[in-house]
Each structure stands twice: as C-alpha cells, then as structure tokens.
A and B are shown apart, each in its own frame.
Chain A
Amino acid sequence: MDFKRIVIFSGHYGSGKTNIAVNVAHHLKKTRPRVAIADIDIVNPYFRTEDSREELERDGIRLIASPFAGSNVDLPALPDEVYAITDDIGLSAVVDVGGDDRGALALGRWREGLMAEGDWEMLMVVNCFRPLTRDADSALEVMAEIQAAAGMPFTGVVNNSNIGDDTAPRDVLSSDGYAREICRRAGLPLKMTTAKAELIPYLEGKIENLFPLRLQDKIR
C-alpha cells in the first residue's frame, strides 16, 4: 500500500488511531530509510504511542512524543521535535492526532507548513461499533468538527470497524457499506480497511485494500 510522506491519522477518540499509526510506521520502515511517528495527542494521557516505544525503536523508528506521556503529568504539551515532520523533508512521518475536534486543534499549529509542503494525507479513522460513530450521519458529524478545528481537509477514510476481542470476519464485512456511505457522502476514497492480522485470510477477496494490524498487549 502506498502512502504520502506525511500520513496523519485523526478521528473519534477510541477509534483505533494509535494502533493503526504504529502499524503503518512499521510498514513504511520496510521501504523507507528514515521513519518517525509523532504523537501529538493533547487530550488523552492514556494509551499512547509511548506504550510502543521499545518495539518502535527496535525497528529503527524515531518516536516523537511528549515527555509526559504515560506519567502522572496531565499536561497538553508537545515537544519541539514535532517540527521535524515538516522541516525535515527526507523524513517519512506518521502523525497520531488526539481524538475529536479538541485533539485536532493541535494540528492547526502545523497546518501552514503542511499545506505548503503538499506531500501529505489526512485519514479519518472510523469504527461503526463505537457508540458515537455508529452510523454515517454521526461519523460525518465528527469528521466535520475535526476538519473545522484542524483547518485541514481529510483526504481519505480508514475503516477500522471492530468490537475488540469479539470481532468476527462478518463484523468487518458488514461494516463495508457503512464505510462506503461515509466516503460517498464526504466525496473521499476508502484508503484501507484495517483488521487484526488473524482475520485477514477470511476477508481477502471480499474487501479491497486490506491492512493487517498487530495489536498492542493489554490487561486481560
């Protein structure tokens, strides 16, 4: 799957942005020499890219994250290193934005640089099993709020519809219509459909542009 130099993931909180961002960074590292992942979440102090630091660094991916992520400091601060994503044009960057319009506000700081640069894409992550984005109407509402806050337009949609450990292939298959309706009404392409790696064999040939996800460990 092909990506622009800068890939921005945004969407409703809890839609799976961080997991997807980490997986896409690993994917890019296979073909690109210098890859960074920037966590610019100013909303939620939990479930951060920081949790994957070890595996990212093992793969030679540079992690740009708040020094406070995962600590007791609940402060919406961003490191100056984030400017590398626009200033260093040899760097391939995945940007993990905080949830909803409040999270997207942080992106406004880099809007001008990104617009001037041009080689970027901003992807809206959606999940029809999340209560506040269950149908196309509500997902489009969240999408409009994010675009207004960021001052930037989305360029595509990522369908990450899942119900955690309970996700079955039919859940992903049945969500395709939901994702396509969002795309049709927003006038955007469906960039990819993401699913945990074990489900991919059941989806191949039935859904286009599949992208397998390896999930972070969690408490049982």
Chain B
Amino acid sequence: MADKVLMKGNEAIAEAAIMAGCRHYFGYPITPQTEVAAYMAKRMPKIGGVFLQAESEIAAINMVYGVSSTGHRVMTSSSSPGISLKSEGLSYLAGADLPALVVNVQRGGPGLGGIQPSQSDYFQATKGGGHGDFRMIVLAPASVQEMADLTVKGFDLADEYRMTAMILADGTMGQMMEPVEIPKIEKKEFDKSWAVTGTGMGRKHNIVNSLSLAPAELERQNFERFQRYGRIQEKEAMWEEYRMEDAEYCLVAFGIAARVTKAAIDEARKKGIRAGMIRPITLWPFPEKALAAAAEKCVSFATVELNMGQMIDDVRLAISCKRPVKLIHRAGGIIPSPEEVLRGIENMEGGAEK
C-alpha cells in the first residue's frame, strides 16, 4: 500500500533478513528482542521458510551451525544473557569459518540484570564473543532504518568473509517505531563451494569442522583467519561524522547514545562550544583511522556510553592516548538526557568550564 512502513526495530531486522534471503531462523524467547522471533513465526511459514523455537539458546546456535554448514543464510537473535549461552556456539562457528547473522538486543547486566536499554555487551561483542582467537563483525544501528539496512549488510559481510556478523542493538532500538523503507536487495553471489551439500559422487567431500588434530595445521588456520580479519579492518570500517569539520571537542557514541549526543552537540554549538561526533557504525572493525585523524585537530575526546565505560578503551587505543578521553555515561538501563551529555561536554578537559 505504501513505500514506507511503520516498524519496530526488531521487526525491521526480521523483515530485512527475509529480504536478504534468510529462510532459517532459530531462537529462544527473551525480552527485549521478542518481536524478532514473533515476526519470524508469522512470516516464515508463509514463504516456505523455517521458524523454530529451540529448547534453549545453546540448541538454537547449534542449529545455526548446522544450517550454515549447508551454505544457506541463517540467523538467530537473543539478548545479553542469551548471547552468553550462545558464546560456545559462536566460537565453534568461528573455528569452522561459517557465516551467520546473530542479533543481540542488549539489556542491562551483569547477570539477569534488567530489561531496560543498555550497551554493556560491547566488550563481549567486540573482543571475540567466546573462547579462542576470533572476531565477529559488529554492527551498531542507530535508527530503525539502520536496523534493516545493517541486517542486509551483515549477511553480505558474513558470507564474504565466512564469519559471524553481529547486530549489537539496545532495547530502545529494538522497541522504538519509526518509518522504514525496506531495502531493495541486489542479488550478490558468494562462493559457497565449501558447503556440505552432498557430493553426488561427483566431487571430493567437503568437511566443516572446528577440530584440528595437528597443531601446525591449527596454527596455519589461525594465521589465515587473521589475514582475513586484517583485510576487514582495512576495508570495512563504517562511521558517521557529525559536525566534525571544525570540531574542537570530539564525542564518540554509537546506537541510541549517538542520538542523544547529537541533540547535546546542537545545544553545545548554540553556546559556542565547537563539539562534533564520530559515530562508529561498525564497532569491529573499529573506525580507528577516523579517530586518529580527529586526534590531529581536536583538543579533547569523550565517549557517551550506556555502560561503565567499555568503548573508551578502543578510543584511547585508536588515538594512541594523544588526547584526554572522558567518559559520559549512565548504566543499569538508564539513558542519559541531552542535558546530562551537554553538562559532560561543558566539563571536558580543556573545555569551557576548565
């Protein structure tokens, strides 16, 4: 009926995944990502797809492993404690070099925590996400439209680099409703000659496995994997710059925190404070070059986070500690107000109040 639809972030992820050709969804219910599963439960049977509510998160991620081995696009979604349960499976996916899309609509932690919005799984997502040497591509949407667009992008990146791409969203992104244009998909071809699809007695067996008996072979695999990661770091970092042209003060924020920060920057500018923002869209690879460039012209940095300060370490590394980095944050499911962030900007080192 219309070009645009009014969607919750969780629904946008589900619909975009379907548009991207995903016909296999395995999950286990948890707030605040419930609508991803609810949407899949309604839509998948109508389009010949599979929606399966597994007996646990651990079962769901292993079903993802199984389908991915056959070369099909597959996804699962959960929220913080559920992702912890899936972390063993995430490591196995990495060890077997299998593509998958995993969604984490975070809640406050640690432990069972709470259901209100949080960004406290930044470490878990960007530093691997399970045991062993590995990375996931981590995408951080800041609007319902990006929930859709980055889902499509995530599937493409996962297939191209044979690894897990994670959508790291928060409860607000999952629950809020905004107009969305469902992305038009250009069909891309990816090499899936490694998939276990039956040899038809016509080719050598493919083997999908994360166990290596010979240490030398396991080392070779690790080195090969990290060469791939190097190419990703070189090519795939995405970020948005906001009012950075003449900025003296550089804010760094992602997801819902970036939206609040934008509003605070506009207020700061009215007071004559030249603030700007770098919003990482990929949290891994982290937009290191953009930050290093900003360190050449900005006097001071601050991250705005819904946690106790996690991304702040990556900012310090990216700018080689050349400038002071301050933390403006709330935790436990509370979003800072634009006024709070503005006060934080006013108190940045070398800032107006100092």
A residues apposed to B, CB below 8 Å: 13-14, 44-47, 72, 74, 127-132, 134-135, 162-166, 171, 174-175, 178, 218-220
Contacts and interface: CB of A to CB of B under 8 A. Distances in A.
B2 A45 contact: no
Contact of B5 (A44, A131, A174): A131
A17 to B, nearest CB: 13
Given A129-B5, A164-B178, A219-B335, 19 more contacts: A44-B34, A46-B175, A72-B108, A72-B113, A74-B31, A74-B115, A128-B2, A129-B6, A129-B179, A130-B5, A132-B11, A134-B1, A163-B6, A164-B179, A165-B179, A166-B4, A178-B1, A219-B260, A220-B263
B81 interface: no
Contacts of A164: 6, 177-179
Contacts of A131: 5, 7, 11, 15
Contact of B177 (A14, A174, A175): A14
A105 to B, nearest CB: 15
Interface in B1-17: 1-2, 4-8, 11, 15
Contacts of B1: 128-129, 134-135, 174-175, 178
A69 to B, nearest CB: 11
Nearest to A142: B42
Contacts of B256: 219
Interface residues of B, number: 34
Contacts of B333: 72
A129 B2 contact: yes
Nearest to A72: B114
Nearest to B15: A131
B161 interface: no
Contact of B259 (A127, A128, A132, A220): A220
22 contacts: A13-B35, A14-B8, A14-B177, A44-B175, A47-B175, A72-B108, A128-B2, A129-B1, A129-B2, A130-B6, A132-B11, A132-B42, A134-B1, A134-B2, A163-B179, A164-B6, A164-B177, A164-B178, A164-B179, A174-B1, A219-B176, A220-B259
